[in-house]
């Protein structure tokens, strides 16, 4: 049995050694995913499963974005037939409801996605805010990170940097990374306006369709998924149906994998 004092040191040293090992191993990534909502987590899952080095960064203590709360805090979500292969692959429980629709408990779904992504090998950094990107030779090449509490307190503390071959803006309604890239570097994005158009009002079916359609690379090295994909393109919101978010995450993982493979080949 360890002495009490030795055990306290062991606990602290274990966490510090492990955490800094994890952080150092993520200084050069294949994929930096900004935002741990459903589209970002699903992207992290597929990329990690494909053997890529992936980190997912979320400013909140609990990643999961808008999925935990279901609709108006009624903690269930709807998923349509088309996205059910993803729900099944990620081993989530569900029950049929109406034509081509399924209900999934939103807490179970969020926890399940996070479990599968981390189990597949994605590293999650919570309480990290991405405040900028690395921008070199006309490419987005990494993320600039700081502690969320540092930014909340308005403390003048410089950030750290994680380089990455690809960066995903999965920040949801605010499209934060796309906005930052366009504003700070004066560049045109591959979007209808060349910038962030901003999302439109509710049309569930159309919003679901365009979420997947708008999922793409909008600037060399920078990809968008989920609500951010609709936001940059000026498309509809869809309310608490989540199939589009899951399919967007899967699609963007494929696009990012292609870009990473191409970069490796030089
Ligand atoms: C670190 C950041 C930063 C930053 C934001 O909004 P999300 O859940 O993202 P999506 O697009 O995967 O899912 C959208 C869905 O939840 C939703 O809102 C729907 C379907 N709405 C429909 C409707 O009609 O309203 O998650 C985004 C995540 C959050 O966890 C943020 O904390 C995080 O991104 N985040 N993390 N650095 N700069 N900005």
One CATH from 3.50.50.60, 2.30.29.30, 3.20.20.150, 3.40.50.720 for 26-68+107-265: 3.50.50.60
- What per-residue confidence (pLDDT) applies to 189? 98
**Distance between start and end Cα atoms, the chain:** 55
Q: How far is CA 179 from the centre of its chain?
A: 16
Residue to substitute in 37, 43, 170 for testing ligand 1 pocket (most ligand atoms within 8 angstroms of CB): 37
Residue that has been written with the tokens 């900028």 in this structure? 132
Identify the residues whose C-beta falls under 6 Å from ligand 1: 34-40, 57-60, 63, 65-67, 129-130, 170-172, 176, 226-228, 237-239, 245
Beta bridge partners of 70: none
Q: Provide DSSP, 8-50.
A: HHHHHHHHHHHHHHHHHTTSEEEEEEE--SHHHHHHHHHHHHT
- What per-residue confidence (pLDDT) applies to 3? 67
Report the SS3 class of residue 138: coil
Q: Which of 222, 171, 183 lies closest to 57, judged by CA? A: 171
Task: Give the predicted TM-score (pTM) of the model.
Answer: 0.98
Atom of ligand 1 nearest to the CA of 57: 1
Q: Where are the domains of the chain?
A: 26-68+107-265
Q: What is the mean pLDDT of each run of 10 residues along the chain (266 residues)?
A: 79 97 98 98 99 98 98 97 98 96 98 98 98 97 98 97 98 98 97 97 97 98 98 97 98 98 96
Rounded Cα distance between 213 and 143, Å, is: 25
- What per-residue confidence (pLDDT) applies to 263? 97
Residue nearest to atom 17 of ligand 1 (CA): 66
**Cα-to-centroid distance, 123 and ligand 1 (Å):** 18
Calculate the alpha carbon distances from 111 to 116, 230, 252 in Å: 9, 25, 21
Q: Which of 185, 172, 187, 186 lies closest to 232, judged by CA? A: 172
- What per-residue confidence (pLDDT) applies to 2? 60
């Amino acid at each position: 049995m360890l002495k009490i004092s030795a055990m306290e040191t062991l606990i602290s040293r274990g966490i510090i050694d492990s955490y800094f090992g994890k952080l150092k191993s993520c200084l050069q990534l294949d994929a930096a995913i900004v935002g741990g909502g459903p589209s970002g987590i699903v992207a992290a899952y597929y990329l990690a499963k494909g053997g890529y080095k992936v980190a997912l960064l979320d400013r909140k203590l609990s990643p999961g974005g808008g999925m935990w709360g279901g609709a108006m805090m009624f903690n269930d979500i709807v998923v349509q037939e088309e996205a059910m292969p993803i729900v099944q692959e990620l081993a989530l429980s569900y029950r049929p409801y109406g034509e081509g629709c399924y209900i999934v408990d939103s807490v179970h779904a969020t926890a399940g996605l996070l479990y599968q992504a981390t189990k597949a090998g994605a590293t999650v950094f919570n309480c990290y805010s991405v405040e900028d990107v690395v921008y070199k030779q006309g490419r987005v090449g990494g993320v600039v990170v700081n502690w969320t509490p540092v930014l909340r307190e308005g403390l003048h503390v410089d950030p750290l940097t994680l380089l990455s071959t690809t960066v995903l803006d999965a920040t949801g309604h605010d499209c934060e990374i796309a906005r930052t890239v366009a504003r700070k570097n004066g560049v045109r994005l591959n979007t209808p306006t060349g910038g962030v158009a901003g999302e439109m009002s509710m049309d569930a079916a159309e919003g679901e369709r365009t979420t997947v359609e708008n999922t793409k690379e909008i600037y060399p090295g920078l990809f968008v998924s989920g609500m951010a994909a609709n936001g940059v393109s000026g498309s509809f919101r869809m309310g608490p149906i989540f199939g589009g978010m899951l399919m967007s995450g899967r699609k963007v993982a494929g696009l990012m994998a292609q870009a990473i493979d191409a970069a490796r080949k030089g």
